[in-house]
Structure 1
Amino acid sequence: MEATDKGRVEERVAMVRVVAADAVETSAWLGKAALAPEVVAAMKMVPRHRFVPEECQVLAYANRPQRIGYGQTISQPFIVALMSDMAAVRKGDRVLEIGTGCGYQSAMLAELGAEVYSVERIPQLAASARDRLDGLGYGEAIHILAGDGAKGWPEHAPYDSIVVTATTNPAVVAELLKQLAPGGRMVVPEIQEAGTGDNKGAGILGLARWLAVEPETDLCLITKDEKGVCTHMRLLPVAFVPLVEGDPAD
Protein backbone atom coordinates (compact mmCIF):
# COMPACT_ATOMS: atom_id res chain seq x y z
CA MET A 1 0.00 0.00 0.00
CA GLU A 2 1.17 3.53 -0.70
CA ALA A 3 0.05 6.72 0.97
CA THR A 4 -1.03 9.40 -1.50
CA ASP A 5 0.72 12.28 0.30
CA LYS A 6 4.34 12.61 -0.85
CA GLY A 7 5.14 15.77 1.11
CA ARG A 8 8.00 16.29 3.56
CA VAL A 9 9.93 13.20 2.48
CA GLU A 10 13.27 14.58 3.66
CA GLU A 11 11.85 15.10 7.16
CA ARG A 12 10.65 11.50 7.24
CA VAL A 13 14.11 10.29 6.24
CA ALA A 14 15.67 12.42 9.00
CA MET A 15 13.11 11.07 11.50
CA VAL A 16 14.05 7.51 10.56
CA ARG A 17 17.72 8.26 11.27
CA VAL A 18 16.82 9.44 14.77
CA VAL A 19 14.63 6.38 15.33
CA ALA A 20 17.48 4.13 14.20
CA ALA A 21 19.80 5.79 16.71
CA ASP A 22 17.26 5.13 19.48
CA ALA A 23 17.17 1.47 18.46
CA VAL A 24 20.93 1.29 18.97
CA GLU A 25 20.68 3.06 22.34
CA THR A 26 18.12 0.54 23.60
CA SER A 27 19.65 -2.57 22.02
CA ALA A 28 20.79 -4.03 25.36
CA TRP A 29 17.17 -4.22 26.51
CA LEU A 30 15.49 -5.06 23.22
CA GLY A 31 17.99 -7.69 22.12
CA LYS A 32 18.44 -6.11 18.68
CA ALA A 33 20.12 -2.97 17.39
CA ALA A 34 18.12 -2.34 14.23
CA LEU A 35 14.50 -2.28 13.16
CA ALA A 36 13.23 -4.60 10.44
CA PRO A 37 13.77 -3.12 6.95
CA GLU A 38 10.03 -3.30 6.30
CA VAL A 39 9.35 -1.09 9.33
CA VAL A 40 11.95 1.43 8.22
CA ALA A 41 10.38 1.54 4.75
CA ALA A 42 6.92 2.06 6.25
CA MET A 43 8.16 4.93 8.42
CA LYS A 44 9.46 6.63 5.30
CA MET A 45 6.13 6.22 3.53
CA VAL A 46 3.50 7.27 6.07
CA PRO A 47 3.08 11.09 6.16
CA ARG A 48 3.09 11.68 9.92
CA HIS A 49 2.28 15.38 9.51
CA ARG A 50 -1.16 14.41 8.22
CA PHE A 51 -1.96 12.78 11.58
CA VAL A 52 -1.35 15.75 13.91
CA PRO A 53 -3.36 18.97 14.38
CA GLU A 54 -2.46 21.77 12.01
CA GLU A 55 -0.90 23.88 14.77
CA CYS A 56 1.48 21.00 15.63
CA GLN A 57 2.53 20.07 12.11
CA VAL A 58 5.80 21.99 12.28
CA LEU A 59 6.95 19.44 14.90
CA ALA A 60 5.28 16.41 13.33
CA TYR A 61 8.59 14.66 12.62
CA ALA A 62 10.25 15.39 15.95
CA ASN A 63 10.92 12.23 17.97
CA ARG A 64 8.34 13.10 20.60
CA PRO A 65 4.64 12.52 21.25
CA GLN A 66 2.12 15.15 20.18
CA ARG A 67 -1.33 16.01 21.50
CA ILE A 68 -4.20 15.13 19.18
CA GLY A 69 -7.12 16.32 21.31
CA TYR A 70 -9.55 14.67 23.74
CA GLY A 71 -6.68 14.06 26.17
CA GLN A 72 -4.96 11.69 23.72
CA THR A 73 -1.57 11.68 22.00
CA ILE A 74 0.18 10.33 18.95
CA SER A 75 3.14 8.33 20.26
CA GLN A 76 6.70 9.34 19.50
CA PRO A 77 8.02 7.85 16.24
CA PHE A 78 10.48 5.51 17.97
CA ILE A 79 7.73 3.88 20.03
CA VAL A 80 5.47 3.48 16.99
CA ALA A 81 8.35 1.94 15.05
CA LEU A 82 9.29 -0.34 17.93
CA MET A 83 5.74 -1.59 18.44
CA SER A 84 5.36 -2.20 14.71
CA ASP A 85 8.65 -4.10 14.69
CA MET A 86 7.80 -6.25 17.71
CA ALA A 87 4.41 -7.14 16.20
CA ALA A 88 6.33 -8.84 13.35
CA VAL A 89 3.51 -8.24 10.87
CA ARG A 90 3.53 -10.22 7.65
CA LYS A 91 1.57 -9.40 4.51
CA GLY A 92 -1.98 -10.65 4.87
CA ASP A 93 -1.92 -10.81 8.67
CA ARG A 94 -5.02 -9.83 10.61
CA VAL A 95 -4.06 -7.33 13.32
CA LEU A 96 -6.14 -5.99 16.21
CA GLU A 97 -5.23 -2.47 17.34
CA ILE A 98 -6.59 -1.11 20.61
CA GLY A 99 -6.63 2.70 20.54
CA THR A 100 -6.94 4.10 17.02
CA GLY A 101 -6.24 7.67 18.10
CA CYS A 102 -5.33 9.69 15.02
CA GLY A 103 -4.72 6.55 12.95
CA TYR A 104 -0.93 6.78 12.57
CA GLN A 105 -0.15 3.38 14.07
CA SER A 106 -3.00 1.92 12.00
CA ALA A 107 -1.43 3.31 8.84
CA MET A 108 1.94 1.85 9.79
CA LEU A 109 0.41 -1.61 10.25
CA ALA A 110 -1.46 -1.34 6.94
CA GLU A 111 1.72 -0.22 5.20
CA LEU A 112 3.32 -3.44 6.46
CA GLY A 113 0.59 -5.41 4.69
CA ALA A 114 -1.84 -6.09 7.54
CA GLU A 115 -5.61 -6.02 7.54
CA VAL A 116 -6.21 -3.86 10.60
CA TYR A 117 -9.17 -3.97 12.98
CA SER A 118 -8.85 -0.92 15.22
CA VAL A 119 -11.00 -0.01 18.23
CA GLU A 120 -11.28 3.58 19.51
CA ARG A 121 -13.39 4.58 22.52
CA ILE A 122 -13.76 8.25 21.54
CA PRO A 123 -16.23 8.46 18.61
CA GLN A 124 -14.87 11.80 17.37
CA LEU A 125 -11.35 10.38 17.07
CA ALA A 126 -12.67 7.24 15.39
CA ALA A 127 -14.54 9.34 12.81
CA SER A 128 -11.65 11.70 12.09
CA ALA A 129 -9.21 8.79 11.79
CA ARG A 130 -11.60 7.10 9.35
CA ASP A 131 -11.74 10.21 7.15
CA ARG A 132 -7.97 10.72 7.32
CA LEU A 133 -7.10 7.13 6.47
CA ASP A 134 -9.62 7.06 3.62
CA GLY A 135 -8.06 10.22 2.22
CA LEU A 136 -4.60 8.66 2.28
CA GLY A 137 -5.69 5.50 0.52
CA TYR A 138 -5.73 3.12 3.49
CA GLY A 139 -9.49 2.73 3.70
CA GLU A 140 -9.85 -0.81 2.41
CA ALA A 141 -7.18 -2.20 4.75
CA ILE A 142 -8.29 -0.57 8.01
CA HIS A 143 -11.59 -1.18 9.81
CA ILE A 144 -12.46 1.12 12.73
CA LEU A 145 -14.92 0.48 15.54
CA ALA A 146 -16.01 3.07 18.11
CA GLY A 147 -16.20 0.88 21.19
CA ASP A 148 -14.66 -0.44 24.39
CA GLY A 149 -11.09 -1.43 23.56
CA ALA A 150 -10.85 -3.59 26.68
CA LYS A 151 -13.23 -6.00 24.96
CA GLY A 152 -11.23 -6.12 21.73
CA TRP A 153 -13.16 -6.98 18.56
CA PRO A 154 -14.06 -10.66 19.01
CA GLU A 155 -16.16 -10.90 15.85
CA HIS A 156 -13.00 -10.90 13.71
CA ALA A 157 -10.76 -12.97 16.00
CA PRO A 158 -8.38 -14.72 16.04
CA TYR A 159 -5.68 -12.17 15.22
CA ASP A 160 -2.10 -12.80 14.16
CA SER A 161 -0.96 -9.80 16.19
CA ILE A 162 -2.47 -7.40 18.73
CA VAL A 163 -1.07 -3.90 19.28
CA VAL A 164 -2.32 -1.91 22.29
CA THR A 165 -1.54 1.82 22.30
CA ALA A 166 -2.63 2.68 25.85
CA THR A 167 -1.46 1.65 29.33
CA THR A 168 -3.31 -1.52 30.22
CA ASN A 169 -3.74 -3.68 33.30
CA PRO A 170 -3.10 -7.46 33.46
CA ALA A 171 -6.82 -8.28 33.54
CA VAL A 172 -7.41 -6.52 30.20
CA VAL A 173 -4.31 -8.17 28.75
CA ALA A 174 -5.63 -11.59 29.75
CA GLU A 175 -8.98 -10.86 28.07
CA LEU A 176 -7.36 -9.66 24.84
CA LEU A 177 -5.07 -12.70 24.73
CA LYS A 178 -8.18 -14.83 24.18
CA GLN A 179 -8.43 -13.18 20.75
CA LEU A 180 -4.78 -13.85 19.81
CA ALA A 181 -4.18 -16.78 17.47
CA PRO A 182 -1.72 -19.56 18.35
CA GLY A 183 1.67 -18.43 17.10
CA GLY A 184 0.61 -14.80 17.51
CA ARG A 185 2.21 -11.81 19.25
CA MET A 186 0.83 -9.03 21.42
CA VAL A 187 2.67 -5.74 22.00
CA VAL A 188 1.25 -3.83 24.97
CA PRO A 189 2.18 -1.18 27.57
CA GLU A 190 1.26 -3.03 30.75
CA ILE A 191 1.16 -1.81 34.34
CA GLN A 192 3.45 -3.81 36.60
CA GLU A 193 1.58 -5.85 39.16
CA ALA A 194 2.36 -4.83 42.72
CA GLY A 195 5.43 -6.56 44.09
CA THR A 196 6.54 -8.08 40.79
CA GLY A 197 9.21 -5.52 39.94
CA ASP A 198 10.83 -5.84 36.54
CA ASN A 199 12.93 -8.59 35.03
CA LYS A 200 15.90 -6.53 33.96
CA GLY A 201 17.34 -5.23 37.23
CA ALA A 202 19.29 -2.03 37.61
CA GLY A 203 19.81 -1.65 33.88
CA ILE A 204 16.17 -1.06 33.15
CA LEU A 205 15.94 1.44 36.01
CA GLY A 206 18.78 3.38 34.44
CA LEU A 207 16.92 3.36 31.15
CA ALA A 208 13.82 4.62 32.94
CA ARG A 209 15.78 7.61 34.21
CA TRP A 210 17.09 8.22 30.68
CA LEU A 211 13.49 8.23 29.40
CA ALA A 212 12.38 10.44 32.33
CA VAL A 213 9.52 8.12 33.30
CA GLU A 214 8.87 5.95 36.32
CA PRO A 215 9.31 2.20 35.68
CA GLU A 216 5.69 1.38 36.54
CA THR A 217 4.55 0.63 33.00
CA ASP A 218 6.59 -1.54 30.67
CA LEU A 219 6.25 -2.15 26.97
CA CYS A 220 5.71 -5.90 26.84
CA LEU A 221 5.89 -8.55 24.15
CA ILE A 222 3.64 -11.55 24.72
CA THR A 223 3.86 -14.57 22.43
CA LYS A 224 1.42 -17.46 22.25
CA ASP A 225 2.73 -20.84 21.11
CA GLU A 226 0.82 -23.37 19.05
CA LYS A 227 -0.54 -24.97 22.24
CA GLY A 228 -1.87 -21.64 23.50
CA VAL A 229 0.82 -21.13 26.15
CA CYS A 230 1.83 -17.46 26.52
CA THR A 231 5.32 -16.14 27.24
CA HIS A 232 5.53 -12.65 28.70
CA MET A 233 8.61 -10.45 28.17
CA ARG A 234 9.00 -6.95 29.61
CA LEU A 235 11.08 -4.79 27.27
CA LEU A 236 11.47 -1.25 28.59
CA PRO A 237 9.63 1.41 30.61
CA VAL A 238 7.25 3.63 28.68
CA ALA A 239 4.65 6.34 29.26
CA PHE A 240 1.23 6.07 27.58
CA VAL A 241 -2.21 7.49 28.26
CA PRO A 242 -4.34 4.95 30.20
CA LEU A 243 -6.84 2.69 28.51
CA VAL A 244 -10.33 3.71 29.65
CA GLU A 245 -12.74 0.81 29.91
CA GLY A 246 -16.46 1.02 29.34
CA ASP A 247 -18.84 2.16 26.62
CA PRO A 248 -17.70 4.82 24.13
CA ALA A 249 -17.67 8.40 25.37
CA ASP A 250 -20.29 10.80 24.05
Structure 2
Amino acid sequence: MSFDATAKMQFLFALRSKGVTDKSVLNAMEKIDRGAFIQGLFADRAYEDMPLPIACGQTISQPSVVALMTQALRISPRDKVLEVGTGSGYQAAILSQLARRVYTVDRHARLVREAKAVFEALGLVNITAFTADGSHGWTEQAPFDRIIVTAAAEDPPGPLLAQLKIGGIMVVPVGQSDTVQSLIRVTRHETGFEYDELRPVRFVPLLEGLGRD
Protein backbone atom coordinates (compact mmCIF):
# COMPACT_ATOMS: atom_id res chain seq x y z
CA MET A 1 0.00 0.00 0.00
CA SER A 2 1.25 3.48 -0.84
CA PHE A 3 0.33 6.89 0.50
CA ASP A 4 -1.82 7.64 -2.55
CA ALA A 5 -4.85 9.94 -2.68
CA THR A 6 -7.25 7.30 -1.39
CA ALA A 7 -4.96 6.26 1.46
CA LYS A 8 -4.43 9.93 2.43
CA MET A 9 -8.16 10.59 2.48
CA GLN A 10 -8.84 7.60 4.73
CA PHE A 11 -5.84 8.46 6.92
CA LEU A 12 -6.96 12.07 7.45
CA PHE A 13 -10.56 11.03 8.06
CA ALA A 14 -9.36 8.70 10.84
CA LEU A 15 -7.41 11.57 12.42
CA ARG A 16 -10.37 13.94 12.33
CA SER A 17 -12.63 11.30 13.83
CA LYS A 18 -10.24 11.07 16.83
CA GLY A 19 -10.40 14.81 17.49
CA VAL A 20 -7.55 16.23 15.41
CA THR A 21 -8.88 19.60 14.22
CA ASP A 22 -5.79 21.82 13.86
CA LYS A 23 -5.33 22.46 10.12
CA SER A 24 -1.56 22.92 10.36
CA VAL A 25 -1.23 19.57 12.15
CA LEU A 26 -3.46 17.84 9.58
CA ASN A 27 -1.38 19.37 6.78
CA ALA A 28 1.82 18.08 8.38
CA MET A 29 0.32 14.60 8.82
CA GLU A 30 -0.71 14.63 5.16
CA LYS A 31 2.70 15.80 3.95
CA ILE A 32 4.87 13.34 5.92
CA ASP A 33 4.51 9.76 4.65
CA ARG A 34 4.40 7.41 7.66
CA GLY A 35 5.37 4.58 5.33
CA ALA A 36 8.88 6.03 5.06
CA PHE A 37 9.43 5.22 8.74
CA ILE A 38 8.23 1.60 8.77
CA GLN A 39 10.25 -1.24 7.31
CA GLY A 40 9.74 -4.98 6.94
CA LEU A 41 6.68 -7.03 7.90
CA PHE A 42 4.51 -4.13 8.99
CA ALA A 43 5.14 -1.81 6.03
CA ASP A 44 1.72 -2.57 4.52
CA ARG A 45 0.03 -1.38 7.74
CA ALA A 46 1.70 2.03 7.78
CA TYR A 47 -1.53 3.94 7.17
CA GLU A 48 -3.64 2.20 9.78
CA ASP A 49 -4.29 4.04 13.03
CA MET A 50 -2.34 1.68 15.23
CA PRO A 51 1.08 1.50 16.91
CA LEU A 52 3.60 -0.79 15.23
CA PRO A 53 6.82 -2.40 16.45
CA ILE A 54 10.17 -1.03 15.33
CA ALA A 55 13.77 -1.94 16.21
CA CYS A 56 15.20 -2.01 19.75
CA GLY A 57 11.92 -3.18 21.30
CA GLN A 58 10.29 0.21 20.65
CA THR A 59 7.14 1.23 18.77
CA ILE A 60 5.99 3.86 16.32
CA SER A 61 2.94 5.50 17.89
CA GLN A 62 -0.43 5.38 16.20
CA PRO A 63 -0.95 8.40 13.94
CA SER A 64 -3.90 9.79 15.91
CA VAL A 65 -1.78 9.91 19.09
CA VAL A 66 1.09 11.59 17.22
CA ALA A 67 -1.34 14.15 15.85
CA LEU A 68 -3.12 14.76 19.18
CA MET A 69 0.20 15.21 21.03
CA THR A 70 1.38 17.60 18.33
CA GLN A 71 -1.89 19.53 18.49
CA ALA A 72 -1.59 19.77 22.30
CA LEU A 73 1.82 21.45 21.94
CA ARG A 74 0.32 24.47 20.15
CA ILE A 75 3.51 25.00 18.15
CA SER A 76 4.33 28.37 16.59
CA PRO A 77 6.53 28.69 13.49
CA ARG A 78 9.42 30.26 15.43
CA ASP A 79 9.48 27.62 18.17
CA LYS A 80 12.45 25.49 19.12
CA VAL A 81 11.24 22.01 20.09
CA LEU A 82 12.90 19.18 22.01
CA GLU A 83 11.63 15.64 21.48
CA VAL A 84 12.66 12.97 23.97
CA GLY A 85 12.39 9.55 22.31
CA THR A 86 13.21 9.73 18.59
CA GLY A 87 12.06 6.18 17.89
CA SER A 88 11.33 5.84 14.17
CA GLY A 89 11.68 9.59 13.65
CA TYR A 90 8.05 10.01 12.55
CA GLN A 91 7.03 12.38 15.35
CA ALA A 92 10.10 14.57 14.79
CA ALA A 93 9.31 14.73 11.07
CA ILE A 94 5.79 15.97 11.83
CA LEU A 95 7.21 18.55 14.26
CA SER A 96 9.66 19.73 11.59
CA GLN A 97 6.74 20.95 9.49
CA LEU A 98 5.49 23.21 12.27
CA ALA A 99 8.53 24.47 14.20
CA ARG A 100 11.66 26.42 13.34
CA ARG A 101 14.00 23.83 14.81
CA VAL A 102 13.57 20.32 16.21
CA TYR A 103 16.08 18.58 18.47
CA THR A 104 15.36 14.90 19.03
CA VAL A 105 17.20 12.53 21.34
CA ASP A 106 17.06 8.77 21.85
CA ARG A 107 19.01 6.34 24.02
CA HIS A 108 19.30 3.85 21.13
CA ALA A 109 22.06 4.75 18.65
CA ARG A 110 20.59 2.45 16.00
CA LEU A 111 17.25 4.27 16.03
CA VAL A 112 18.98 7.65 15.75
CA ARG A 113 21.08 6.44 12.79
CA GLU A 114 18.05 5.07 10.97
CA ALA A 115 15.93 8.15 11.67
CA LYS A 116 18.69 10.45 10.40
CA ALA A 117 18.79 8.50 7.14
CA VAL A 118 15.04 9.00 6.65
CA PHE A 119 15.26 12.71 7.53
CA GLU A 120 17.99 13.11 4.92
CA ALA A 121 16.02 11.18 2.30
CA LEU A 122 12.97 13.37 2.91
CA GLY A 123 15.02 16.59 2.87
CA LEU A 124 14.13 17.54 6.45
CA VAL A 125 16.98 19.90 7.25
CA ASN A 126 15.68 21.51 10.46
CA ILE A 127 16.01 18.37 12.62
CA THR A 128 19.04 17.58 14.79
CA ALA A 129 19.04 13.99 16.10
CA PHE A 130 21.51 12.64 18.65
CA THR A 131 22.07 9.73 20.99
CA ALA A 132 21.90 10.49 24.71
CA ASP A 133 19.90 9.91 27.87
CA GLY A 134 16.85 11.98 27.00
CA SER A 135 15.54 12.07 30.56
CA HIS A 136 18.16 14.79 31.17
CA GLY A 137 17.09 16.82 28.13
CA TRP A 138 19.76 18.81 26.32
CA THR A 139 21.19 21.63 28.39
CA GLU A 140 23.35 22.99 25.57
CA GLN A 141 20.27 24.05 23.61
CA ALA A 142 17.95 24.88 26.52
CA PRO A 143 15.60 26.53 27.12
CA PHE A 144 13.00 25.18 24.69
CA ASP A 145 9.67 26.65 23.62
CA ARG A 146 8.14 23.19 23.46
CA ILE A 147 9.13 19.74 24.78
CA ILE A 148 7.46 16.47 23.83
CA VAL A 149 8.22 13.17 25.55
CA THR A 150 7.27 9.98 23.71
CA ALA A 151 7.87 7.59 26.61
CA ALA A 152 6.06 7.38 29.92
CA ALA A 153 7.53 8.83 33.11
CA GLU A 154 6.17 8.37 36.64
CA ASP A 155 6.22 12.16 36.95
CA PRO A 156 7.16 14.95 34.51
CA PRO A 157 11.01 14.80 34.63
CA GLY A 158 12.53 17.66 36.64
CA PRO A 159 15.43 18.30 34.23
CA LEU A 160 12.95 18.71 31.36
CA LEU A 161 10.72 21.06 33.34
CA ALA A 162 13.80 23.16 34.09
CA GLN A 163 14.61 23.39 30.36
CA LEU A 164 11.16 24.71 29.44
CA LYS A 165 10.90 28.45 28.71
CA ILE A 166 8.51 30.65 30.64
CA GLY A 167 5.33 30.37 28.60
CA GLY A 168 6.52 27.06 27.17
CA ILE A 169 4.55 23.83 26.90
CA MET A 170 5.56 20.22 27.52
CA VAL A 171 3.43 17.21 26.58
CA VAL A 172 4.34 13.98 28.38
CA PRO A 173 2.69 10.63 29.17
CA VAL A 174 2.68 10.11 32.94
CA GLY A 175 2.02 6.88 34.85
CA GLN A 176 3.34 3.41 35.64
CA SER A 177 4.56 1.56 32.57
CA ASP A 178 2.32 -1.48 33.11
CA THR A 179 -0.92 0.49 33.42
CA VAL A 180 -2.78 3.00 31.31
CA GLN A 181 -1.06 6.35 31.50
CA SER A 182 -2.39 9.89 31.19
CA LEU A 183 -1.18 12.39 28.63
CA ILE A 184 -0.33 15.59 30.50
CA ARG A 185 0.21 19.09 29.14
CA VAL A 186 2.48 21.20 31.34
CA THR A 187 2.56 24.96 30.85
CA ARG A 188 5.30 26.94 32.55
CA HIS A 189 4.30 30.30 34.03
CA GLU A 190 6.32 32.91 35.91
CA THR A 191 4.87 31.56 39.15
CA GLY A 192 5.12 27.81 38.48
CA PHE A 193 3.66 25.00 36.38
CA GLU A 194 0.09 24.33 35.28
CA TYR A 195 -0.91 20.72 34.57
CA ASP A 196 -3.75 19.63 32.28
CA GLU A 197 -4.75 15.97 31.91
CA LEU A 198 -5.65 15.33 28.26
CA ARG A 199 -6.43 11.65 27.65
CA PRO A 200 -5.41 8.07 28.50
CA VAL A 201 -2.48 6.68 26.47
CA ARG A 202 -0.01 3.83 26.59
CA PHE A 203 3.70 4.30 25.90
CA VAL A 204 6.91 2.41 26.55
CA PRO A 205 8.62 3.58 29.77
CA LEU A 206 11.12 6.43 29.86
CA LEU A 207 14.41 4.78 30.82
CA GLU A 208 17.66 6.33 31.96
CA GLY A 209 21.04 5.56 30.41
CA LEU A 210 21.89 4.45 26.88
CA GLY A 211 20.68 1.41 24.94
CA ARG A 212 22.96 -1.52 24.15
CA ASP A 213 23.37 -0.77 20.48
Q: TM-score range by the shorter chain?
A: over 0.9
Distance change in 2, residues 1:175/1:229 (3 Å): same
**Secondary structure of the equivalent of 2:88?**
coil
Distance change in 2, residues 1:173/1:18 (3 Å): same
Cα RMSD between the aligned structures? 1.8
Is it true that 1:218 corresponds to 2:182 in the alignment? yes
Q: Please identify the structure whose Cα radius of gyration is greater.
A: 1
Query: Unmatched 5+ residue regions in structure 2?
Result: none
Q: Distance in 1 between matches of 2:191 and 2:37?
A: 36
Q: What is the 5 A alignment of 1:7-22? A: 7-22=3-18
Distance change in 2, residues 1:214/1:100 (3 Å): closer
Give 1:216 shift: 4.1
Give 1:57 shift: 1.5
In percent, how many aligned pairs have the same letter?
36
* Larger helix share, 1 or 2: 1
Detail structure 1 runs of 4+ shifted over 3 Å in the superposition: 213-216
The normalised TM-score by structure 2 is 0.94
Q: Distance in 2 between matches of 1:186 and 1:45?
A: 24
**Secondary structure of the equivalent of 2:111?**
helix
Aligned residues: 212
Is it true that 1:183 corresponds to 2:175 in the alignment? no
Q: What is the 5 A alignment of 1:151-230? A: 151-170=136-155, 173-191=157-175, 216-225=180-189, 227-230=190-193
Q: Distance in 1 between matches of 2:210 and 2:53?
A: 23
The normalised TM-score by structure 1 is 0.80
Please name the residue that 2:116 is paired with: 130
Distance change in 2, residues 1:14/1:95 (3 Å): same
**Secondary structure of the equivalent of 1:156?**
coil
Q: Distance in 2 between matches of 1:247 and 1:173?
A: 17
Query: Unmatched 5+ residue regions in structure 1?
Result: 1-5, 24-33, 193-212
Q: Distance in 2 between matches of 1:67 and 1:247?
A: 20
